[in-house]
């Protein structure tokens, strides 16, 4: 089985999430068109392919997501977060039990202080326990040209088997 998305022209529906097996569509979940607009979506599958994140973005710096699992050929909504302001990226923990989200908060920075800035938030979701832990991401970028530092370029990586965040200046912060 696999998960796919399809944009639609249906009134009030932005995208359809489909659970498919070969050429057969097993189930479909319609995602309503949000007030903030719909810019697109991404799918991020868990390591064992049992769950998927449907990451939604407005194209106007708003993000939301929904976590689904496949159960007996049906899509089951497990966890969701409504739209919030910012830009977000996602990664599953190596065991697939937690979902990591980085939310870029560059718009809230005080650029008059060139030492350490809050550049984002790391949210850790336990989708099984329906809980969320939030950590502030900060790093020192003294000496960097602010015009060349791209705050949207925080990424995830695996380092020695651990999930990590790579900062725009190359600093790696492990989160597992």
The DSSP-derived string for the chain is: -EEEEEE--STTEEEEEEEEETTEEEEEEEEEPPTT---EEEEEE-TTSSEEEEEEE-SSSEEEEEEEEEETTEEEEEEEEEEEESEEEEEE-TTSSEEEEEEE-GGG--TT--SEEEEEEEEEEETTTTEEEEEEEEEE-TTS-TTT--GGG-EEEEETTEEEEE-TTS-EEE--
Same domain, yes or no: 68 and 95:
no
* Residue where one domain finishes, among candidates 85, 102, 119: 85
pLDDT tens readout for residues 112-170: 554 445 567 788 999 888 899 988 776 665 555 555 555 456 777 777 877 777 776 67
Same domain, yes or no: 57 and 128:
no
Same domain, yes or no: 81 and 135:
no
Please tell me which residue, 85 or 55, carries the higher pLDDT value: 55
Same domain, yes or no: 78 and 134:
no
What's the confidence (pLDDT) of residue 116?
A: 47
Please tell me which residue, 25 or 156, carries the higher pLDDT value: 25
- Whether the CB-CB separation of 141 and 149 falls below 8 Å is answered with yes
Which among 47-56, 104-113, 133-142 has the top mean pLDDT?
47-56
C-alpha radius of gyration, the chain, whole number? 18
What's the confidence (pLDDT) of residue 19?
A: 94
Query: Looking only at Cα atoms, what is the longest distance across the chain?
Result: 57
Same domain, yes or no: 43 and 99:
no
Please state, as a whole number, how many other Cβ atoms lie within 10 Å of the Cβ of residue 137.
Answer: 19
Same domain, yes or no: 62 and 98:
no
The count of domains in the chain is 2
* Residue where one domain finishes, among candidates 52, 85, 118: 85
Same domain, yes or no: 61 and 142:
no
Q: How many residues does the chain have?
A: 176
pLDDT tens readout for residues 62-99: 888 999 999 999 999 998 888 777 778 888 988 888 99
Q: Which residues pair with 42 in a beta bridge?
A: 55
Same domain, yes or no: 6 and 35:
yes
Same domain, yes or no: 112 and 132:
yes
Same domain, yes or no: 136 and 124:
yes
Same domain, yes or no: 111 and 61:
no
Same domain, yes or no: 5 and 66:
yes
* Full residue range of the structural domain in which residue 152 is found: 88-176
Please state, as a whole number, how many other Cβ atoms lie within 10 Å of the Cβ of residue 2.
Answer: 13
């Amino acid at each position: 089985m696999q998960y796919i998305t399809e944009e639609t022209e249906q009134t009030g529906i932005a995208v359809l999430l489909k659970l498919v097996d070969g050429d057969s569509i097993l189930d479909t979940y319609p995602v309503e068109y949000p007030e903030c607009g719909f810019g697109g979506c991404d799918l991020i599958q868990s390591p064992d392919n049992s769950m998927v994140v449907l990451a939604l973005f407005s194209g106007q710096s708003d993000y939301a997501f929904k976590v689904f699992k496949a159960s007996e050929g049906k899509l089951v909504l497990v966890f969701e977060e409504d739209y919030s302001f910012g830009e977000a990226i996602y990664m599953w923990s190596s065991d697939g039990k937690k979902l990591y989200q980085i939310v870029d908060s560059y718009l809230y920075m005080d650029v008059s202080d060139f030492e350490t800035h809050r550049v984002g938030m790391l949210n850790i979701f336990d989708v099984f326990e329906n809980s969320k832990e939030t950590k502030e991401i900060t790093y020192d970028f003294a000496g960097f040209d602010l015009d060349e530092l791209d705050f949207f370029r925080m990424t995830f990586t695996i380092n020695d088997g651990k999930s990590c965040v790579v900062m725009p200046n190359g600093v790696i912060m492990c989160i597992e």
